[in-house]
């Protein structure tokens, strides 16, 4: 990967979102033995497309470690309405991790935390270090992380859409990214089984937040509300604050962000090991006649490894810095 001028663009990729989207987009792809590969294929294709388009200095792939997180500890029903993951897709999670390892990619998952929490922590750490973090996901929960220095490439059915604070405001009736968690607190999120306040929809929630700013502002001014709306807001207070807690991304996860934000000089989507693995899974034919992945010569790889060892000796790890959340 290369540096773009004096900037250092870092892609923070939501692996589970990408592979799930791909699994349903390419349902019939498989190896000669009949093992499904559509999700994995689409994931690799996304990585190649993102690399070609954005030419990042670094990319970090973040994943969920399991179906449950610390949120289930105080609300066991969190994400409880989701169906079980298809076995064919679970197999492809393993393919993804194997491939990333063979690419020397920076990959992280952590028990009790969701990929969103890891992305949030890394995004604000990267912004603090004056890098250019760019989140890649089709998950709108991540809109709350957007700042003037942290943007998101939103994966929609119409393609990749760039979201900055202005784009969030335009989509959500004038709200700022910081208000997204309060929007979910009021209107809930059925996909994650976040309850919200019964009878309060997104349009009403947006009006309330535009008028009063946040949950605290709404509850300090309930006397301004009338009839059924006031009744719903007052009776749903406990659910609202629980929902905000569930929807809030933890941006202070205890991870070695210094190491994770440092590219591996040997990273490539087309290392010989990665290329060979794609061939094993018949991915070359899936990509069609156009040759997308090319193996590096073994001697070139050995040279890069020697240079990496020298660089590590000359640049030992430095002490971590404290992170400010103000961007």
> pLDDT tens, position by position, for the chain (327 residues)?
654 434 799 999 999 999 999 999 988 889 989 999 999 999 999 999 999 999 999 999 999 999 999 999 999 999 999 999 999 999 999 999 999 999 999 999 999 999 999 999 999 999 999 999 999 999 999 999 999 999 999 999 889 999 999 999 999 999 999 999 999 999 999 999 999 999 999 999 999 999 999 999 999 999 999 999 999 999 999 999 999 999 999 999 999 999 999 999 999 998 999 999 999 998 875 344 444 443 433 434 444 444 444 344 344 333 333 333 343
Q: What is the predicted pLDDT for the residue at 27?
A: 83
Q: What is the predicted pLDDT for the residue at 215?
A: 98
Q: What is the predicted pLDDT for the residue at 2?
A: 52
Q: Is 151 helix (H, G, I), strand (E, B) or coil?
A: strand
Closest CA to 136 of 44, 19, 12: 12
Q: What is the predicted pLDDT for the residue at 26?
A: 87
Q: Is 169 helix (H, G, I), strand (E, B) or coil?
A: helix
Angle at 58 (CA atoms; ends 52, 62), nearest 5 degrees: 100
Q: How many helices (H) and strands (E) does the chain have?
A: 15, 6
> What is the Cα–Cα distance from 220 to 223, expressed in whole angstroms?
8
Taken in order of first residue, the domains within the chain and their CATH numbers are 9-170+250-314 (3.40.50.1010), 177-247 (1.10.150.20)
> What is the Cα–Cα distance from 246 to 115, expressed in whole angstroms?
14
Q: What is the predicted pLDDT for the residue at 1?
A: 61
């Amino acid at each position: 990967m290369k540096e773009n001028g004096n900037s250092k663009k870092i892609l923070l990729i939501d692996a589970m979102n990408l592979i799930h989207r791909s699994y349903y987009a390419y349902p019939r792809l498989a190896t000669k033995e009949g093992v499904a590969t559509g999700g994995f294929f689409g994931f690799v294709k996304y990585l190649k497309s993102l690399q070609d388009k954005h030419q990042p200095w670094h990319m970090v792939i973040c994943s969920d470690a399991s179906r449950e997180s610390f949120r289930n500890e105080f609300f066991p029903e969190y994400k409880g309405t989701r169906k079980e993951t298809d076995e064919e897709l679970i197999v492809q999670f393993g393919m993804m991790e194997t491939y990333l390892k063979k690419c020397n990619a920076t990959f992280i998952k952590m028990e009790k935390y969701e990929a969103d929490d890891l992305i949030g922590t890394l995004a604000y750490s990267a912004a603090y270090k004056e890098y250019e973090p760019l989140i890649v996901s089709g998950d709108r929960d991540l809109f709350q992380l957007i700042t003037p220095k942290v943007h998101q490439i939103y994966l929609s059915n119409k393609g990749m859409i760039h979201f900055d604070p202005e784009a969030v405001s335009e989509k959500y009736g004038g709200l700022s990214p910081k208000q997204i968690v309060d929007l979910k607190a009021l209107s809930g999120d059925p996909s994650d089984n976040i309850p919200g306040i019964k009878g309060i929809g997104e349009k009403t929630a947006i009006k309330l937040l535009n008028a009063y700013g946040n949950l605290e502002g709404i509850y300090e001014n309930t006397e301004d509300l009338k009839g059924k709306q006031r009744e719903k807001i007052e009776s749903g207070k406990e659910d609202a604050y629980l929902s905000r807690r569930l929807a809030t991304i933890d941006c202070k996860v205890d991870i070695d962000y210094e190491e994770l934000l440092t590219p591996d000089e040997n990273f490539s989507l087309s290392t010989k090991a990665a290329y060979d693995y794609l061939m094993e899974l018949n991915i070359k034919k899936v990509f069609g006649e156009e040759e997308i992945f090319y193996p590096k010569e073994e001697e070139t790889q050995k040279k890069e490894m020697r240079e990496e060892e020298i660089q590590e000796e000359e640049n030992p790890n430095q002490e971590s810095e404290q992170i400010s959340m103000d961007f």
